Amino acid sequence: MGFDLKKMFTFIRVQYRVLLIGLVLSASMQVNAQQNEQASQKTVTEQLQQLRKEVIALNRDLFVLEEDLLFPSSTQVVVYLSMDIGTYFNLDAVELRIDDKVVTYHLYTEKQVQALFKGGVQKLHIDNLAQGEHEISAFFIGNGPQNREYKRATSTTFTKTADAKALELSIVDSSVKQQPIFEAVEL
């Protein structure tokens, strides 16, 4: 009988929810008991704040555990997206393919594009890949120079080793060509 990652994660998620329900019920019983004892509102508020902090910490720990279980470093590939000032290209969407299989398609809001212009970097995709040669292709859709519809692509091949792999898709303005340049590089 092999190790089933999905069953393990489902079990952990159920246990987490049971723990959260228990914490909420416990807090509710504590609040009721303290109200019956006519405890001050400040004490109840402090306890609820502490309980909220504990729930947030548990949620963060669960997220880290989930990523470790679902995406171990021996198979993990992460793809990031970055842009510069966007004079020659206004991004609408990105389609990402790994080994000719569409793995994600992301539509951008104005706020997301502005965040990228200000130096933000988006974690576009995280995946598990076997070791060996792989090809990544990204299709960028938006408006280019003179506000024309623009669809460009970039691709690169990379070798997945036993270590985690990070790739960056970047959109950079070329003032010499007065065109955007689309690149995919290994980090």
pLDDT tens by residue, 26-50? 777 776 666 666 555 567 778 888 8
Q: Which candidate, 2, 18, 134, places its Cα nearest to that of 76?
A: 134
Residue 128 phi, psi dihedral angles, 5° rounding? -105, 130
d(CA 116, CA 92): 12
Q: Is 118 helix (H, G, I), strand (E, B) or coil?
A: coil
What are the residue boundaries of the structural domains of the chain, listed by start? 5-70, 76-186
Across the beta sheet with 76-83, what order do the strands follow? 121-128, 76-83, 165-174, 179-186
At 11, which amino acid appears?
F
Q: Specify the pLDDT at position 104.
A: 92
Q: Which two tokens stand for residue 119?
A: 């130096």
Q: Is 1 helix (H, G, I), strand (E, B) or coil?
A: coil
- In the chain, DSSP assigns E strands to 76-83, 90-98, 101-107, 121-128, 132-143, 149-160, 165-174, 179-186
- Topology of the domain comprising 76-186: Immunoglobulin-like (2.60.40)
pTM of the model: 0.62
Low-confidence ranges of the chain (pLDDT < 50): 1
Give the orientation angle of helix 5-36 with respect to helix 41-70, to 10 degrees: 180
Across the beta sheet with 90-98, what order do the strands follow? 101-107, 90-98, 132-143, 149-160
Q: Which candidate, 173, 132, 138, 166, places its Cα nearest to that of 152?
A: 138
Answer yes or no: are the C-beta atoms of 166 and 114 closer than 8 Å.
Answer: no
Answer yes or no: are the C-beta atoms of 131 and 160 closer than 8 Å.
Answer: yes
